[in-house]
Amino acid sequence: MIQKIIYKIKGEFKSEFGKNFFTLFTGMGVSQIIPIVVTPILTRLFTPAEFGLLALFTSTSLFMSNIATMQYDSAIMLPEKEKEAINIMALALISVITITMLTLVIVVVFNIALCKLMGNTEIGFWLYFVPLLVLLEGIFRILNIWASRRKQFKRLALRNINQAVTTAGTKVVIGSLHTINGGLIIGSLVGQFTATFVLFYQTIIKDKLSGSIITIKCILYNAVKYKEFPIFANFQNLFDMFKETGTRYIISNFYGTAILGSYSFTLGLLQRPTQLIGGAISQVYYQKAANTYNAHGNLWGLTMKLMMRLTIFSFVIYLPILLYGQEIFYFVFGNKWKTAGLYAQILTPWLVGTFILQVSSRIPQIVNKQKVFFIIGTIFNIIFFLGVLILSMLKFDFIYVLSCMTILTSVFYVYLLFWYKKITQIN
């Protein structure tokens, strides 16, 4: 029996899917190990309040960057002809530039108002860098999907390592100097710039992409053909980010930047396994799942096979956090982060669900159910946001608020699992 299991594992890694996953997993593994190793250093160089400032900056940036491509980048994977995919890239790039300019106008005109909304005046200066991050992140997302389409997973693996090294290195250096404010934000900017530049160079120079095959007619054709992406998928993403960003603004206003910092630090740290394993699988899965569905294959079987493996991984990763979160955080990150360990224990069911279901997040796009998913997601986001706001206004302890957030999200994930099963079995 053991020999059969070993033979099966070897067979999985010899398959194209297994090789692609292993390549991405290796790159993501190294890229996630670096920040994990550096994190105990950063928690001693920076305070929870400084992590809170980073959370406000990244939340605001991600709110705009997640809608920058209008989700047209997701459509790059779908057409059979490369010419059409390149024109979709051009369409997504036009959208990124437009959203970047809009972001610039917003942060310049409404800078003071945004500071009041976040309940933090220190963020004012850093808001002027938000358009830059939106531009970099938008271009990066386009090139990332393009590389996945062409199965250039080694390129993506190297990019992950490059970004991790530059981000972590910059944060440690600036934190050690104690002379420059916003070291965490600067490190994030430097890391994103480096990763985007390297991927841009590899795509334009090495892939020898030609702009001659890009035409206005083809761009407009694809804008109409894939109109459901900006209409439904993009607005779904917008509401998701509104929930995430709004939640952080609420925590900052009602509970302070220090608690926001502990919450954001904990959530970000516990999401690293999702980014490492789930992220690697989901990128390879999207390419294979799209082909499986188009060939009228067993999409649900493919999805369940991967989710079962992720379920096993999740127990190995998150069970120690659930049982000994406070002790682990106290020992690794220092006394001032012990409360964050309690947050980690409460967030564990939420993170387990995210870890398992990440691989299936592309299903609505693949089976053309973006409209239904938009409605489902919007209802959940409204309930979640209003719940956090009402509980905060009623001055409930943050531990209670966090527990309610986890329970609500976990129930939503269970519903999504059954819905995914239903829509993948209709082909």
Q: What is the pTM of this model?
A: 0.65
- Residue pair 249/113 in contact (Cβ under 8 Å)? The answer is no
Of the candidates 21, 287, 262, the residue with the CA atom closest to the CA atom of residue 156: 21
Burial of 420 (0-12, 13-18, 19+ CB in 10 A): buried
Written as six digits, the tokens of 382 are 């409204």
Instruction: Confirm if 135 and 107 have CB atoms less than 8 A apart.
Output: no
> C-alpha distances in angstroms, 286 versus 20, 235, 245, 359?
12, 20, 27, 8
Instruction: Report the C-alpha gap between 420 and 274 in whole angstroms.
Output: 19
Q: Which residue has the tokens 């239903």?
A: 422
User: How would you class 217 by CB atoms within 10 Å of its CB: exposed for 0-12, middle for 13-18, buried for 19 or more?
Assistant: exposed
Closest CA to 385 of 269, 216, 272, 248: 248
Q: What tokens appear for 217 in the block?
A: 């007619």
Q: What is the pLDDT along the chain (427 residues), one digit of tens a residue?
A: 434 433 444 444 455 555 555 555 565 566 667 777 788 888 888 888 888 888 888 888 888 888 888 888 888 877 878 888 888 889 999 999 999 999 999 999 999 998 888 888 888 899 999 999 999 999 988 888 888 777 776 777 777 777 788 888 888 888 888 767 788 889 989 988 988 888 888 777 776 666 668 888 888 888 888 887 777 766 777 777 788 888 988 998 899 888 888 888 888 888 877 666 666 666 667 767 777 777 777 888 888 888 888 888 888 888 888 888 888 888 888 777 888 889 999 999 998 888 888 777 778 878 878 788 888 988 998 999 999 999 999 999 999 999 999 999 999 999 999 998 888 875 5
Nearest Cα to Cα of residue 387 among 404, 400, 403: 404
